[in-house]
Amino acid sequence: MKYPPDAYDHNHNRYTRKDISIETFDETEKIGAYWRINDPETDLQMFEYISGLPCDREFQERIGMCYRRGRGVQKDLGKAAEHMKTAADMGNKRAKWKYFDILWEMRKAETDLQMFEYISGLPCDSEYQERIGMCYWRGRGVQKDLGKAAEHMKTAADMGNKRAKCNYYFILYLGNSP
């Protein structure tokens, strides 16, 4: 579907006109449209729509995101983590990093340990290197170790991860910042 030029606010990544009907979107665009409208009434409609979809890895990720952001349901990071872990276990590649990020948001000792153990079993790519570096940098799930943090951040930066490059310099020059 093509949208009128004034229908979408690119600065805030959401639709601004309420007169655009969700029903005009095809099935592949519908969830994205619901997500971008971003108001409580539409969030509830989105959650109900997602709840009616087949329970596959995409469904689990979408429900997890609803719980993570409190979109259509009460925000619940525990339920978000549960759904995201299920999606990751079903083979959803995005969900594995979202699961890690949700555990990071929870900021609890038991979830930090769970987070570190989970990431330790993942393939070694730039996302892995950066997140393992964050664990060592912050002492989340492991003993704080700036040397290991810098090593992992440098590896991720060398693999092309821009965020890791920035974090690597923070670790080297500022030690404990962000």
What local confidence, expressed as pLDDT, does residue 149 receive? 93
What local confidence, expressed as pLDDT, does residue 114 receive? 85
Span 2-60, pLDDT tens digits? 455 555 555 555 555 555 556 666 666 766 767 666 677 777 777 787 777 777 888 88
Nearest to 84, CA basis, from 108, 66, 111, 110: 66
Nearest to 168, CA basis, from 152, 37, 39, 40: 152
The residue whose two tokens read 């004034």 is: 6
| Other C-beta atoms lying within 10 Å of the C-beta of residue 141 | 23
Nearest to 75, CA basis, from 105, 98, 97: 105
Banded model confidence at residue 63, pLDDT cuts 50, 70, 90: confident
Span 75-124, pLDDT tens digits? 999 999 999 999 999 988 888 889 988 988 988 888 888 888 887 777 77
CA distance 108 to 112: 6
What local confidence, expressed as pLDDT, does residue 1 receive? 44
* CA 101, 56, 3, 40 torsion-angle sign: negative
Q: Which residues contact 118 (CB under 8 A, 6 or more apart)?
A: 85, 99, 100, 103
Nearest to 34, CA basis, from 17, 47, 53, 51: 47
What local confidence, expressed as pLDDT, does residue 18 receive? 53
What local confidence, expressed as pLDDT, does residue 176 receive? 58
What local confidence, expressed as pLDDT, does residue 24 receive? 61
Q: Which residues contact 160 (CB under 8 A, 6 or more apart)?
A: 126
Q: Is 15 helix (H, G, I), strand (E, B) or coil?
A: strand
